[in-house]
Amino acid sequence: MRGPHNILRLVRTGATFERSGAMGVALDALDAPPRLRLAARVLGWPFRWMGYRGDPNLPPVTRAITALGPAYIKFGQILSTRADVVGTELADQLRMLQDRLPPFPTDQAKRIIETELGRPVDLIFSEFSEPVAAASIAQVHRARIRETGQEVAVKVVRPGIEGAFRRDIDAFHFAAGIIEALSPATRRLRPRDVVSHFESVVSGELDLRLEAASASEFAENTRDDEGFVLPLPIWELSSRRVLTSDWAEGLPLGDRDALIAAGHDVTHLGRRVIQLFLQHALRDGFFHADMHHGNLKVAANGDILAYDFGIMGEIDAYTRRVYAEILMGFIRRDYRRVARVHFEAGYVPRDRDEAAFARALRAVGEPIFGADASRISMANLLAYLFEVTERFGMQTRTELILLQRTMVVVEGVARSLDPQLNMWQAAKPVVADYIKGSLGPRAMARDATEIVQTLGRYGPLLPRMVEDMLWRRAHPEPRPQPPSRARRWMPIVAAGGTAFILGGGLGLMLG
């Protein structure tokens, strides 16, 4: 229930940060203004006794986040990739949230596996290790299948995680409602819709059957991508709370020193991470939406290994074209084009000044080009972009939340490998290839074919739809149903109309 009882949860959040000593660290890392610091202290200090104690062996912010629960941990994982926003020291502390959280007992994991798969673990696996990685939703064990000897990774959902996650999201919904009520200006950002979107995405992560399906589809899409590998699911040993997949060995992408010592080119890896993400998002419209360090490794031969497909993003063909044109506009520094695309897509209300919007975008983009990448403050850039979107009444696009969030995370991962990496230069060849393939003559022919196919699918319905439309214009009263004999003839007539449409459409394309 999203009632006032959630006030206690929100107060406890602030109290936990205060009690763990994380409040000051977080405010310093975010370079919070004096007023915000004072308000946080005034609101947090009197309720300090209500905060969760957490693990005193952990750094303050990590201690507070892990004590508060899975939804907070997910947020901390995102921040762990943004050293340019929260600072290198805090980003390093938060990185443990990716795959080094306290595990739950192995015996408990075995009981879950036996319940889900209907057989004792010892009959399924000849070897079964202690947890090798533990994250917010599940933990992973290394095992060997008894029948085949194949080495596998067995992922098991944490017990009780569903209820804990619902409680966190419930408080987030309540907070979003309060924010919209107290600050009408924030409604254009649609905080409640954002929380709902986050809820739907992570709820899907709790069902490992969906993750297996995503991994299978992702593998089909990327099978020809050079230097990119992902472990495949083993369906007969997977269920809602258990996922068994191939074991893949590699160095963590977050361990830059180890990668350099192993002879890997970290600059190339950084560029490759960005390019792979863009290829998957633009080419396929289906991309890994949780690409933090903990879900990426590097094989001995230099291949990038991706794990954990619980959160995947999906965007339609039209949105992909809009996104690509916006990126290409920034890359070419054509801010008029970027502004025009925003207006054409309906992202900015049409009553606003397009030329003024283009100038505001120029002020966002120009500091990036030609500047030393290490001197670009993503925090300041995002802050100014927020001001621009607010000034022009641009609303949050929930369908782009995962795409935008993943882009920020991927850039953070790439910049951790090479602080001098220029994201725009790395993205340019991928975006240019997509633009060439999606806006040229071949793309127009492909679009025409899809239109004809769509008309063909709805062909049997067209005669009736036209008749109903004409009848409603001439007769406001409801139309009687046609006699059964007429109904029998309608599919034949419709089929003839479909053949005419298909023949005419193909003739136009081939002629």
Q: Which of 16, 137, 141, 21 is nearest to 71 (CA)?
A: 137
Helix (H) or strand (E) holding 434: helix 423-439
- Residues 13 and 30: their CA atoms lie apart, in Å, by 17
Answer whether 311's CB lies under 8 Å from 402's CB: yes
**From the candidates 170, 290, 308, 418, which is the catalytic residue?**
290
Answer whether 491's CB lies under 8 Å from 460's CB: yes
In sequence order, the β-bridge partners of residue 123 are: none
Q: What is the DSSP string of 439-502?
A: HSHHHHHHHHHHHHHHHHHHGGGHHHHHHHHHHHHH--SPPPPPPHHHHHHHHHHHHHHHHHHH
| Amino acid type, 26 | A
Say whether 246 is catalytic: no
Structure tokens at 325: 């044109």
Place of tokens 């696009």: 397
Answer whether 410's CB lies under 8 Å from 430's CB: no
Indicate the burial class of 85 (C-beta count within 10 angstroms; 0-12, 13-18, 19 or more).
buried
- Is the Cα torsion angle 454, 460, 461, 466 positive or negative in sign? positive
* Residues 106, 119, 129: CA angle, nearest 5 degrees: 30
Residues serving a catalytic function are 290
